[in-house]
Amino acid sequence: MSMSHNRSLWSASVLAVAIAASSAVHADQLTRDSGAPVGDNQNSQTAGDAGPVLLQDSHLIEKLQRFDRERIPERVVHARGTGAFGDFEPTADLHDLTVAQVFQPGNKTPVFVRFSTVMGYRGSPEQARDPRGFAVKFYTSQGNWDMVGINWPIFFIRDAIKFPDFVHANKPSAVTGVQDPNLAFDFFAHTPEATNMLTHLYTVEGMPDSYRHMDGSAVHAFKFINADGVTHYVKFAWKSQQGVHGFEPKHIGGSIANDWNLMTNDLYGAIKKGDFPKWDLYVQVLTPGELGKFDFDALDDTKVWTGVPERKVGTLTLNKIPDNYFESTEESAFAPSRLVPGIEASEDRMLQGRLFAYADTQMYRLGANYQQLPINAPKTPVSNNSQDGALNASGRQGEINYEPSGIKELSQDPKYKDAATPVSGVTQQRMTQKPRNFFQAGEYYRGLSEKDKGFLIEALSADLNHVTNEANKYTMLSYFYKADAGYGGQLAKATHADVERVKSLATRLQD
């Protein structure tokens, strides 16, 4: 072998080593569980700019699957819950919008409702500055429909890829086991879309004095499909007939803080007395063409649909306390992917991730056959080719456990196919093009009474005063200032911050 050939091999070897070194994953680089580096941890892959999230986004899927398996056997979120049975009666004929039989006049659909806190563990206090879960399982004549929401019409983040991080930052510290505002606001300082939800959360309504005294929402847009296959986008909202009430900051301590079961005691006490709580269900409706009329993304779950009228469509009544807490409240399993004909998911990125993650969580927590448990089982017959697995009690018989088959045929009706949704563009991984992170927080703030504004400033500044990272504190203040100068200015004064510095930072933000 010639010297020149050896030299060229050596040069190629050095080049290969150099390339490998330049592309090596560093210790401070975010990676997958496999060690592969992550290119974008903020935006899921979608089909086009407004299209649905793609199953091929293996980082998103792995991240959600890994997150779903962090607790045994307790729920990762919404662990502290209270359940009750009742019924739903429609008050409007929606056949022009949907074939969902739950809205057919004259029907009375049994329901199970689970209220909850989000971040606390199973035995944690029910009084916390925390969103409240409001999950409804409708046992309809077409199968089960789960409306899985909270007590606000918006959420902190708009993409499910950020959900595990959101929860980690707000759960107790991985070192001390204690919740830490420094961690929470470190995340929020880098998540400007949370400004609207944080503004709602720190109001008096952010500390409801009863599950009966709060509204609810499915948060995301869904689709109604009628008998002609026509699609409308809808949002669902529950309005409490009991009114909406919460605790002022000065009332949160003392005897209220000492009753860790205040919300459950209140709800069950009312039901025992025959004072059955009720909520009216309202819907907002848009045609697909109307989604683009806003100067924000209408499928962004950090936003409300401003100027879209609400239509009352039914009433929910809770009238029975479960006989067995574990077999009802603990074993109940909700997932927004549990839909019925006439109701479908929208392309909302947060919802798209929840469609997978919630059902996967329940399958992990309760087992593959969790939908056979009495609290989760539909009232309609189940006929599928699923078999075996732990605690299977389906009673499936015969050799034909597959489809298609010429021996035993299970009928399929094309009218139950999902509606066609046009998509365009290329697969991508980027943020929505119309984020508008701050303006609705400002609108909401300006709609509060002067008294409620004061309570908001008092509650929010109390937590911000615990933030020791100055950069994060000023970033948060600039977000609120961008939403409304009066709002941010009052918070700056309450947190002993330099108002001019806050104002300067806010002018660099775009909305």
- pLDDT single digits (tens) 235-255: 999 999 999 999 998 888 765
What pLDDT score was predicted for residue 76?
85
Domain-located, residue 309: yes
Summarised one tens digit per residue, pLDDT across range 323-354 is 999 999 999 999 999 999 999 999 999 999 99
Domain-located, residue 337: yes
Q: Which of 82-86, 387-391, 463-467 has the lowest mean pLDDT?
A: 387-391
| Cβ contacts of 188 within 8 Å, gap of 6 or more | 156, 169, 194, 198, 476
Residues 118 and 233 in one domain: yes
Residue pair 203/452 in contact (Cβ under 8 Å)? The answer is yes
Tokens of 185: 């606001």
The mean pLDDT of 65-74, rounded to a whole number, is 74
Q: What angle do CA 319, 314, 82 make, to 5 degrees?
A: 35
Neighbours of 13 (CB within 10 A): 10
Residues 367 and 489 in one domain: no
Residues 483 and 352 in one domain: no
Summarised one tens digit per residue, pLDDT across range 424-436 is 889 999 999 999 9
The mean pLDDT of 447-455, rounded to a whole number, is 98
Residues 227 and 367 in one domain: yes
What pLDDT score was predicted for residue 120?
87
Summarised one tens digit per residue, pLDDT across range 71-101 is 657 888 998 999 999 999 999 999 999 999 9
Residue 12 has pLDDT above 70, yes or no: no
What pLDDT score was predicted for residue 2?
45
Residues 361 and 468 in one domain: no
Residues 351 and 448 in one domain: no
pTM of the model: 0.89
What pLDDT score was predicted for residue 170?
95
Domain-located, residue 471: yes
* CATH number of the domain enclosing 102: 2.40.180.10
What pLDDT score was predicted for residue 6?
45
Q: Domain residues for 446?
A: 439-507
CA 471 to CA 189: how far, in whole Å? 9
Domain-located, residue 18: no
CA 140 to CA 89: how far, in whole Å? 11
**Total number of domains in the chain:** 2
69 Rama class: left (phi>0) / alpha (psi -120 to 50) / beta: alpha
State the sign of the Cα–Cα–Cα–Cα dihedral 448, 451, 457, 460: negative
Domain boundary residue among 376, 400, 426?
376
Residues 272 and 355 in one domain: yes
Tell which wins on pLDDT, 388 or 160.
160
What pLDDT score was predicted for residue 23?
53
Residues 367 and 287 in one domain: yes
What pLDDT score was predicted for residue 254?
63
What pLDDT score was predicted for residue 477?
98
| Cβ contacts of 353 within 8 Å, gap of 6 or more | 44, 53, 60, 64, 159, 160, 161, 163
What pLDDT score was predicted for residue 121?
86
Question: Coil, helix or strand for 219?
Answer: coil
Domain boundary residue among 376, 394, 413?
376
Domain-located, residue 3: no
- Report the range out of 2-6, 75-79, 345-349, 383-387 with the highest average pLDDT: 345-349
What pLDDT score was predicted for residue 123?
85
Residues 448 and 305 in one domain: no
Residues 273 and 349 in one domain: yes
What pLDDT score was predicted for residue 75?
86
Summarised one tens digit per residue, pLDDT across range 480-508 is 999 999 999 999 999 999 999 999 999 99
Summarised one tens digit per residue, pLDDT across range 149-172 is 999 999 999 999 999 999 999 999
What pLDDT score was predicted for residue 20?
46
Residues 372 and 493 in one domain: no
Domain-located, residue 84: yes
What pLDDT score was predicted for residue 388?
87
The mean pLDDT of 307-314, rounded to a whole number, is 98
How much is the mean pLDDT over the chain? 91
Domain boundary residue among 358, 376, 394?
376
Domain-located, residue 249: yes
Residues 60 and 161 in one domain: yes
Give me the DSSP letters along 327-369. IIIIT----TT---TTEEE-S-HHHHHHHHHHHHHHHHHH-TT
Alpha helices in 294-449 (DSSP H): 325, 349-366, 439-446
CA 472 to CA 495: how far, in whole Å? 13
Domain-located, residue 362: yes
